[in-house]
Amino acid sequence: MEIQRYWSIVRKRLWLIALITIVLCTAVGYYTSQQRPTYQAAAKLMVYQSEVPGNTSSAPDAGAINSNILLIKTFKQLILTPRILEKVAAAYPDLHTSAGELAGKIGISSVSETQIMTVIATDGSYARAANMANAVSKVFQSEIRTLMNLDNVSVLNWADPEAHGGSISSSPAKNVAIAFVLSILIGIALAFLLEHMDNSVKTEQEVRAKLGLPLLADVPRIRNRDLIGPDDSERTTMGARGKPNVTMDA
């Protein structure tokens, strides 16, 4: 059956599959264990409708809301500009970071069709990530008044530096489990590839399959102990070129 044939190929290369699995899992486990945990903290901003003098209506203006939603696209790009990030680095030296480093650690997200914008900071320390998110939010809220003559950004939620946020880094056990499955698949694929490239004939079944002829004789491998006669005084050993030498005890 084909299944038996496939299993025989896997069993013949089982050592190779085991070797690949051990090496890959060990490498992934070691690499993951050496990585520092990574944390994320977020502060939420809201772009709201500015009050119009003389307007006593409490109903929200749909046009103003749509304008604010469109403004978020501009704000998301503006926050990450050197003008904002350099002011953050200068105003908060305790962060011990530059504008360039902030650009790589700060991300901005928003939910479609809403006025909510989230400032996300990533760092090896949760408290530091929270302070980064808060600093960027505060500086942006202040600078937007100067840059665009707008005062329609408020902070809904500050990131809490005292909170204990969970690490977003991959779990070592999870990485090793993934590496285990992938290494087995790679090993099996390599085993079939080597079998496909191997044209040698090793068994009588392969001879019959390749030649399509019945087996007429089977010559077993002869060992030295198979040539020892029934008489203990007669010793038979293999000489040069495989010829038996018979020695008689006196």
Where in the chain are all domains bearing CATH 3.30.70.1130?
39-157
| CA-closest candidate to residue 94, choices 135, 143, 122 | 135
Identify the pLDDT of residue 107.
Answer: 93
Helix (H) or strand (E) holding 27: helix 14-34
Q: Which two tokens stand for residue 171?
A: 């779990």
Q: What are 36-93's pLDDT values in tens digits?
A: 888 999 999 988 766 544 444 455 566 667 777 788 888 889 999 999 999 999 999 9
Which neighbouring-strand residues pair with 118?
44, 109
The answer to whether the beta carbons of residues 107 and 120 sit under 8 Å apart is yes
Length of the chain as a residue count:
250
Beta bridge partners of 154: 46
**Interatomic CA distance for residues 158 and 141, integer angstroms:** 13
CATH number for the domain running over 39-157: 3.30.70.1130
Instruction: Please write the tens of the pLDDT for every residue from 166-204.
Output: 777 777 888 899 999 999 999 999 988 988 887 776 666
Unique residue bearing structure tokens 């090993």: 187
Tell if the pTM clears 0.85, that is, is over it: no
Q: What are the pLDDT digits (tens) for 141-169? A: 999 888 888 888 889 999 998 887 777 77
The answer to whether 147 and 8 have CB atoms below 8 angstroms apart is no
Please give the DSSP secondary-structure letter assigned to residue 13.
T
